[in-house]
Amino acid sequence: MKSEAQGWFRPAFAFVAAITGLRLLALAFNRADLFVDESQYWLWGQNLDFGYYSKPPLIGWVIRLVTDLAGSDSPFWVRMPGAVLHGVTALVLGAVAARLADRSAAIWAAVLYVTLPFVVVGSLLISTDTIMAPFYALALLFWLRAAQGGRAVDAALAGASAGAAFLAKYAAIYLIPGLVLAMLLAPQFRIGWRNALLAALAFGAVISPNVLWNLTHDLTTVEHTMDNVGWVRGGAVLNFASMAEFLASQFAVFGPIAMAALIWGVVTARRSVRGALAVLSLPPLVAVTVQALLSQAYANWAVAAYFPGTVLAAMILRTIWRRVALALNLIVVVAFPLLTVLAPWPERDGEPLLRRYLGRAELSREILDLARAEGVPVLAANRDILADLLYTGRDSGIPIYAPRPEGRARHYYEQNYALPEGFTARILAIQAAAPDCGAGPLAPVAAFSLSGYWSSRAVAPYLVDAECLNAAD
């Protein structure tokens, strides 16, 4: 580490620890229900495996570890790793900046990262991006240590960290072409053939359980990834509006000032450290932009660009622009957690702003109470309903089923919680349309008090005989 970079850690740690502590405090008063993906990740943790239907396994392992240590499966403990892991990532990126620049850049890399808009959201809702973040950053740090010190252990740790990032989210694969490009532009990233081989072997060893799981499970996660890509299945149609929307969303994800700095860094890239950081950021941005053009892309699909991108922005921005970026970020830092604490207020057009994250647990409790009163299991086809039912009803003892899949399972619940063959009892079917067992549509057995996410959706309970289900099959 350069001598001029010394002394960065204490001020950076103080700021990051303060932000993280406040986030954990807000999380304790968070009134938002677990989102459908969060409930699913929790469920994965109850069924430990080397892979899952739609994602690699690390997020399930982390949630299981934290909830077991805490002795609680409450939403706080399911989400708690998010704030902590982003805090760790901020400090690791500070260490990366300290190796490549100076004390000021190191402090600001940590400060800017921990306040970025996507980090704010990732500290409130647990996601695979959040689990990937510290390992992606550690891979960069150990790679630099291997390049500057030549130690084999650092090269192995770089590969192992990249492998762990891959086990969190397959987007970590963008690190490989990024590092190849970075080595072409800056000697600070060149680790030599022996260490590169060690890193590759460590990477392969760490990811091998998930690779083997996919090979022995009909490439389940790969197939789902292809479904998400869209144009692979249905053909490509140029969608310039989708591409423009994705690119515009990145100014919200990364922050307008930081994004402008990253773009400037890419445009002015030369054979230098800044150029290397710029090309490290390019693979996810280019790949997801092309995906948006050919089909569609979610705003968070390119966040891998913003780990090296944060370091680059901290190096490029002058002090005044760093402060402006921080000021803008702090608005989001305060506003988003406040919304989760005040929910269901505020409202817009008579609906809570956070309606997407409200009403889920309430519906599940009504379904479970009705199933308990009738003495029957529950069947639901809707993934949102299944996710929260299995989480909210984790201690209810009530069996919860998805329909038997027709062909390839559409989601994790059809894959692992499908209605058993030969089912012969009555069941409480939760669906939008009334089932018809031959004598006309059945009447619902109750009316739900739908709120939040479900307030504008048709959901009703129907008692259905097994004969009707078998006839439908």
DSSP class of residue 402 equals B
Q: Do the Cβ atoms of 247 and 290 come closer than 8 Å?
A: no
Close Cβ partners of 205 (under 8 Å, ≥ 6 residues apart): 160, 163
Beta strands across the sheet bearing 400-401: 400-401, 378-380, 427-431, 460-464
- The one-letter code for the residue type at 255 is G
Of the candidates 319, 305, 326, 327, the one whose C-alpha atom is nearest the C-alpha of residue 249 is 305
- C-alpha separations of 227 from 54, 260, 448 in Å: 10, 32, 33
Of the candidates 122, 133, 96, the one whose C-alpha atom is nearest the C-alpha of residue 1 is 96
Q: Do the Cβ atoms of 284 and 172 come closer than 8 Å?
A: no
pLDDT at residue number 2: 59
Residue 329 — left, alpha, or beta (φ > 0 → left; ψ -120 to 50 → alpha)? Answer: alpha
Question: What is the per-residue DSSP string for 84-133?
Answer: HHHHHHHHHHHHHHHHHS-HHHHHHHHHHHHH-HHHHHHTTS--HHHHHH
Q: H helices within 295-343, ranges in order?
A: 306-316, 319-342
pLDDT in tens, 341-367: 999 999 988 899 999 999 999 999 999
Q: Which helix (H) or strand (E) holds 351?
A: strand 351-352
Q: Flag residues of the chain having pLDDT under 70.
A: 1-4, 227-235, 470-473
Of the candidates 348, 196, 321, 343, the one whose C-alpha atom is nearest the C-alpha of residue 259 is 321
Question: Distance between alpha carbon 451 and the CA centroid of its chain, in Å?
Answer: 26
List the chain domain ranges: 3-342, 359-472
Of the candidates 320, 264, 50, 290, the one whose C-alpha atom is nearest the C-alpha of residue 163 is 50
Close Cβ partners of 413 (under 8 Å, ≥ 6 residues apart): 383, 386, 387, 390, 402
- Whether pTM > 0.85 for this model: the answer is yes
Per DSSP, the three-state class of 82 is helix
pLDDT at residue number 221: 80
Q: Do the Cβ atoms of 210 and 168 come closer than 8 Å?
A: no
pLDDT in tens, 82-121: 999 999 999 999 999 999 999 999 999 999 999 999 999 9
